[in-house]
Each structure stands twice: as structure tokens, then as C-alpha cells.
Structure 1
Amino acid sequence: MEHRLNELRRLAAGAANRRTETGIPRVAMVQGAIPEHQLAAVYDPMINLILTGSKSMTVGARTLHYDPATYFVMSVELPAVGQVHPAASGEPYLAVSLTLDAAVLAPLLADLPEPAFGRRADSGFSVAAVTPELMDAWVRMLRLMHEPNDIAALAPAYEREILYRVLQGPHGAMLRDIASPDSALARVQRAIAWIRQDFASPLRIEALAGKVAMSASSFHRHFKAVTALSPLQYQKRVRLMQARQLLVAQGANVTTAAFEVGYESATQFSREYARMFGMAPGRDAARIAARVRAA
């Protein structure tokens, strides 16, 4: 597979030190060192393939590592902390991603027999070994960056092929459940959308469970299985990540940021912020700002 990987690296060589749109719908690239605070974020559902270097993703208490021999799938929006590393040879980190869209998956699922998908998903994120067939599909997709006139006609077919190859592997159950409205994963995804939309308000588990037609105990169990977090832990991480953005990007003070994201006590906010990010919010914001200025 090395020659396929080398071609993908050549095709993606123009990526910048940040997320770079390719001109192909839902396909993006990133290269080089990424600012630490940008790697702690709520990530969209995606397939992520590393071409050079390696990455780790921590969600709750789970940390997954992957490199060019593996790929990562996240099937729901998750607050995660990432770390990227250059290759042992010193080459910068380089990766491509495909954002998952249930509207694209659903017609593909309708064309495939259900036994191809395997059992129901028991998690919303995982890592699997990359296959030659999946690599080939990515090569065809990224070649379109140099043939923009072909994107409208061919990108949908190549996207279907990438999704099909993933459906055939260990992540197949996750992809199926994204587009299955009655699956536990899809119900958790709807609950996540409500939490993110109104993250600053108090979270009432029974009311949220009722919105997705689940009992409170079943909802809590499935939510934690999919996200590795309880609903309250999920909300807390969304609040803290949003507060970090207010502190760094908008220069908000600690008290303002705390109240803006739903905390009633700046002291409690500071304590939980330090537990998540390793230092008090004011010091963390100043450290990040200094690194941005020095970059």
C-alpha cells in the first residue's frame, strides 16, 4: 500500500497548517503543527485518514491512537482533545478527512443488504486498519483536486465508494446507525444536537430522554456507550470548550466567560476548567495568546 500512500501524500501536499478545504464537498486536509487549543473542540462526524505522522484523540477516559496504517471514524459530534505528531523522519503531520452526512449515507444503505453491516454499533468512535481498497478510493477522490471540472460528476461516486469501503469494515455498524433514525446512536445524536443548541441552560435528563423516546436509564446508558461521557459530562465539556474560545478569541474575562456558558459560580468554573485543561482559565488564555503571537 506504500505507493498508494505516497500518491496521497503528493496529492495533499498543498495543505496549510490548519484545516484546508479542497474544493471537493465535505473533504478537507490539514498539515503541520496545529495550535493546542484548536485540537480541543467538538468534532463533527467524520472519517479521518492520516497520511504522515500520527494523532491521538481523547474522549472522556478513552484515548485512541492512529497513524497511516489506520483510520479513525467519529459518528457523532464529540468534545475531544487531540494531539498531532510529526513522522519519526521529521515530516509534518498530514491528514485528510471526509465529513459524514446522513443524507449521503441513507441512499447507499438502501442499495446494500443489511448483513453487510454487521452488528449494531456500541460506540460512536473507533480506529481500524486501513485497507488497499479504501486507499484506492481516497486516491481517486484526491485526484479531483487537480481536475476541478470533474468534481461535480465524479466526487459523489468516489464518496459513495469511500463510505462503502468503510461499511465493509469494522466501522460498518456505526455508519449504518448514523442513517437509521430509530437506532440508539441516531437518538443520541439528536440529543447531542439539543444539548449543543442550549448548552448554557440546566440539563434535565428525563426531559431530554423523553424527546428521543427513551427511558432515562436507557438514554443514560446508550449516551455513555456512544460518547464515553454521561450527558452531564458532555454538556460540561461543551461549556468549558466554549468558554475557552471566549477567553482566547474574544478576550473575555473569567467571570464573564463562566456566566456566558451557564455557570452560576466563577469559582466552580475555574476549578472545573483547571481540571480539564491543566491550569486556571486566565493563565491558560494568556499562555495560548502568547503562543499565537510567537507563531
Structure 2
Amino acid sequence: MSNSLASEIARFATTDGIHQTAIPRLTLVRKSAPTEPLHGVHQPSVCVIAQGRKRVMMGDQVFVYDADNYLTVSVDVPIVGQVVSASEDEPYLCVRLDIDPAMLTELILDMRLPETEERRCECGIALARTTPELAGAFMRLVSLLASPDDITMLAPLAEREILYRLLRGPQSAKLRQIAIGDSRMRQINRAIAWLRSNYADPFSAETLAQEARMSLSSLHFHFKEVTGVSPLNYQKQLRLQEARRLILGDRLDAATAGHRVGYDSPSQFSREYSRLFGAPPRRDIERLRRSPGPLEEA
């Protein structure tokens, strides 16, 4: 089944890159060679590789997956992703579906899944084995790109089947946390949403805890459990990734970009930029401009 899914992805992703599609929330990825590590914030989604292999790093945790396993992301998490197996003859081919919380909630209700009292947080990333049924559902969704007039009516049915397969699989509890209004994961999501909206402002642990409706100690413990980093380091990564985009895309100088994202000290900005990306801003940007490609993981 993975070969069939690979053929469908290759059919519509004919060039290397990240391809947004006419189907809402569906993205196809093709790479004909291994990539450098790419930084990004991964949104809640499921990623199925049809061909090739990839490494994803979150904090100090490493996840390696291929056509035998799919990746589930249940919360916005900062990651470093790297395609490690790809070639011209056998390119890396992947399909990603962002999770629609409303559709997920509706399906949980329709399936009459028993409510759970579990409030324990888990890592925001997990791997599980790709079944023929799940790969087949993805293949049917991707194949709709050949008949645009059918997308409006049939894509939601295929997407619903994918979510059904996921809820029947080993990652059901993790996905259900996205939809449970009073879950610990929802509290962490509130903290993440606040950080993403206010990343350039001075960090306030007390304000963040109030937004999440958690105690300070609980916030720090569960936030790192889910995202792999502390709230402060999460904010730093958001700042530095945006500064990198401003320098490369908007051609701002490093000092201006650093100030734009909340750094008052250019030297501190340069130090933290080097620590995350492996080189100071000028050298990093020169390298990126010599090797054009996506800045962020998809």
C-alpha cells in the first residue's frame, strides 16, 4: 500500500519542495536528497511517509520514522526535522494532514468513545505503525487532487476516515486530548497560544500561568513534558526563528531583526542565535542564500 501512496504523492508533487494542495489542511512533501536540519514549530497533524526516512528532534528526544510508522503531533511543538534517506531514484515522499479539532470532536461524539478522567500530559510527538487501512485512506484523499470537482464533497469523507483510523489506533488518547476542553493538554495549548501571540514581549511566568490556569510548578513541569523545552526556551525559539525569517526574507540587519523580536542586547541576540542555528546571523544567512530552500520544517 505504501508503494501506491508513494505513486499518488509523486503524481502531484512532481518537484522538490513543500506543496500546499487544493484540499484543505493537506500538504505533500518531496525531497530528492537528504536535507540539512530544518527548524520549525510543528502544528497538530499526522505525517505519513510513503518513501524515504526522516529524523525529528524535539528537545533531547529523537524520533526516526519511515513508511512503516507515522508521526502524530498533538500540540504546537518546536522541532528540528531532517530528511535522512532520499535520492533522485527514490525521493522522500510524505503526506501531512493538519488536524481539524472541530471534525475530531464531532467524530469522537459520533463514535461514542467513553470519556476519560486522564489528565496526565504526554510528549506532544509520538510514532505508531502505519496500517494498510490508514495508508489506503490517505491514498484516497490524495487521489482526489486529480478530480477537483469532487474535493468539496469527498475530501471531508476521506479526512473523516483518517481521523477514525487514528482514533481506533494506539494514539487515540493523545488525539482525544486535543478535543477535551478541560484536559491538561488544553491548558498547555493556552500557554502556547499566548507565547506565540506575545513572543516579542518580556517573558512573565506568572502571566503565562494565569493564561494557562495552572500553578507555576505545574505549568513548568507539564509544558516541558509536552514540548521538550521550558516556556522560556520555547519563547526564545519563536523569537529566533522569526528573526531569521526577517533577516533572510525582509533583508533586515541582525540588530534590527533582533530588536523587532524582543532583544534589547545585540550581543545576547547573536549569542542565542548562534546557539540555536550553529552560526552567527551573518554567516548563517550567507550559507542559506548559497543553498536556497525552505527555512522551516513542514
- 2:159 is aligned to 159
**Counterpart residue identity of residue 4, structure 2:** E
Q: 2:2 aligns with which of 2, 5, 8?
A: 5
Change (3 A) 1:30 1:256: same
Cα distance in 2 for residues equivalent to 1:38 and 1:62: 15
Per-residue deviation, 1:222: 1.3
Give secondary structure in 1 for the equivalent of 2:169: coil
Sort the Cα spacing of 1:255 and 1:211 in 2 relative to 1 into closer, same or farther, 3 A.
same
CA contact (8 A) 1:200 1:261 kept: yes
Q: State the distance in 1 between where 2:34 and 2:290 align.
A: 12
Counterpart code for 2:227:
T
CA offsets per residue over residues 254-274 of structure 1, 9 Å max, x none?
Answer: 111111111121111111111
CA distance in 2, matches of 1:153, 1:176: 25
1:99 aligned residue = 98
Q: Which amino acid aligns with 1:28?
A: T
Residues 49, 70 of structure 2: 8 Å contact kept: yes
How far residue 90 of structure 1 moved from its aligned partner, in angstroms, is: 4.4
Q: Please give the per-residue CA displacement for 1:108-152, whole angstroms capped at 9, x wherever unaligned.
A: 111224359896551211111111211121122122112222211
- Structure 1 stretches of 5 or more lacking a match? none
Alignment-derived partner of residue 168 in structure 1 = 168
How many matched pairs?
Answer: 290
| Partners of 1:28 and 1:98 within 8 A in 2 | yes
Instruction: Say which SS state the counterpart of residue 24 (structure 2) adopts.
Output: coil
Following the alignment from structure 2 to structure 1, what is the Cα–Cα distance between the partners of residues 25 and 44? 11
Query: Do the aligned partners of residues 40 and 280 (structure 1) sit closer, same or farther apart at CA in structure 2, a change above 3 Å counting?
Result: same
Distance 1:25 1:140 in 2: 15
Q: Percent identity?
A: 43
CA contact (8 A) 1:39 1:82 kept: yes
CA distance in 2, matches of 1:116, 1:154: 30
Pick closer, same or farther for the CA change 1:34–1:113 going to 2, 3 Å.
farther
The whole-number CA distance in structure 1 between the counterparts of 2:92 and 2:221 is: 36
Residue matched to 2:44: 45
Which structure has more relative contact order (CA 8 Å, sep 6+)? It is 2
**What is the DSSP-based 3-state SS (H/G/I as helix, E as strand, rest coil) of the residue aligned with 1:292?**
coil
The residue type paired with residue 58 of structure 2 is: V
Equivalent positions of 1:28-43 (< 5 A) are 28-32=27-31, 39-43=38-42
Q: Which amino acid aligns with 2:9?
A: A
Please report how far the alpha carbon of residue 171 of structure 1 lies from its aligned counterpart in structure 2 after TM superposition: 1.4
- Tell me the distance in 2 between the aligned counterparts of 1:99 and 1:58: 19
Does the Cα contact within 8 Å between 1:180 and 1:186 map onto a contact in 2? Answer: yes
1:146 counterpart letter in structure 2: A
Q: How does 1:1-295 map to 2 (within 5 A)?
A: 4-13=1-10, 14-15=12-13, 16-32=15-31, 39-87=38-86, 90-115=89-114, 121-292=121-292
Structure 1 CA distance for aligned equivalents of residues 88 and 103 of structure 2: 38
CA distance in 2, matches of 1:281, 1:224: 27
Q: Is the 8 A contact 2:30 2:93 kept in 1?
A: yes
In the TM superposition, what is the alpha-carbon distance from 1:179 to its structure 2 partner?
1.1
* 273-282 vs 36-45, greater mean Cα deviation: 36-45
TM-score, with normalisation over the residues of structure 1? Answer: 0.92
**Gap runs ≥5 in structure 2:** 294-298
Could you tell me how far apart the structure 1 residues matched to 2:9 and 2:256 are?
41
Q: Displacement of 1:74 after TM fit?
A: 1.0
TM-score w.r.t. length of structure 2? 0.91
Change (3 A) 1:38 1:249: farther
After superposition, what is the alpha-carbon deviation per residue over 1:234-253, rounded to whole angstroms, capped at 9, x for unaligned?
00111111111112112221
Shift of 1:66: 0.7
Instruction: Give 3-state SS (helix, strand or coil) of 1:279's partner.
Output: coil
**Which is worse superposed, 16-25 or 193-202?**
16-25
